[in-house]
Amino acid sequence: MVRFDIITLFPRMFDSPLQESILYKARQAGLIAVGLHDLREYTRDRHRTADDTPYGGGAGMVLKVEPLVAAIEAIRSPSGKTRTVLTSPQGEKFTQAAACRLSGFEQVVIVCGRYEGFDERVLGYVDEEISLGDYVVTGGELAAMVIVDAVARHVPGVVGDEESVAGDSLANGLLKYPQYTRPPEFRGAGVPDVLLSGDHKKIERWRRAASLERTLARRPDLLESAKLSDEDRKVLLNYKHRQETE
C-alpha cells in the first residue's frame, strides 16, 4: 500500500476526484490511502495565517515557512520509506518514470504550492520539486491530483488489468499505438485489416511500428532516450522516407 499525505490550503478540492473511479475503488480496497491536511491547522497565530508579503516587495503573497515545515514534520513517517515532494512550476517535469519510482515508497507527502510561491527555506525539508509542465496553474492541488492518480496506477492491484498499465503511452518511452473498437466501419473510415486478422504476431509488429511512427510525428524528443532495435530504426527510416516523398 502507498499512503499519500497532501498538505494544502484547500482540502475540499480533492473530495470529488477521490470519490470516483479507480482512486475510490483503490482506497476502498486498502491499496492506497489519502490523507488531507489543511495547512492552516499548522499555523500559530489566532488568524491562522499561512502566507505573507514577500521580503523585498512585489505582487502577491508567499507561503510561510513555519507552517509548511511544521506540517511536513508532523505528517512525515519516521520509517524512512517516505518521499516529500513540492508542486512547483520550477520543479523537474513529472514523467511516467517518476510516477513508477514514487510508487515504490510507503508514503508520499505532497506539498501544494500556491500564490506567488513559497518561502525558499522550505526546500531544505522536501526531497524534490515536481512540475506538470511548462505552464502555471492557480495552485498545486491540480498537480497533486495528477501525481496521486499517476502513481496509484503503478501500485499492484489498483488497475485490474496490469497489462493496461504496461501498455500505457510513455510506459516504454513511446506514445501508444492507435486503438480501434466496434463498429469495423464508421462513415467510410475503417479499421486496419491487420487488427481484424487474428494474427497476433502481425498485430504486435503493426502496433510497434505504429507506436514508433506516432512518436516520431508527435514527440520526436522521446526517441532520443528510447530503447530501439535495428528493426525499430528501419521502421523509422521508412516512415521518414514516406513522409518526404508524399
Which one of 38, 41, 116, 129 is the catalytic residue?
Answer: 116
Query: Would you call 168 a catalytic residue per the annotation?
Result: yes
Asked about 183 being catalytic, the answer comes back as no
Residue 204 designated active-site: no
State the catalytic residue, choosing from 89, 149, 205, 207. Answer: 89
From the list 3, 168, 205, 208, the catalytic residue is 168
How is residue 246 written as a grid cell? 508524399
Residue of 211, 215, 208, 202 lying closest to 231 (CA atoms): 208
Which cell is 36 given?
Answer: 488531507
CA distance 213 to 191: 17
Active site (annotated) includes residue 221: no
| Catalytic residue selected from 5, 11, 83, 153 | 153
Determine how many CB atoms are found less than 10 A away from the CB of residue 181: 7
Q: Kindly list the catalytic residues.
A: 89, 116, 153, 168
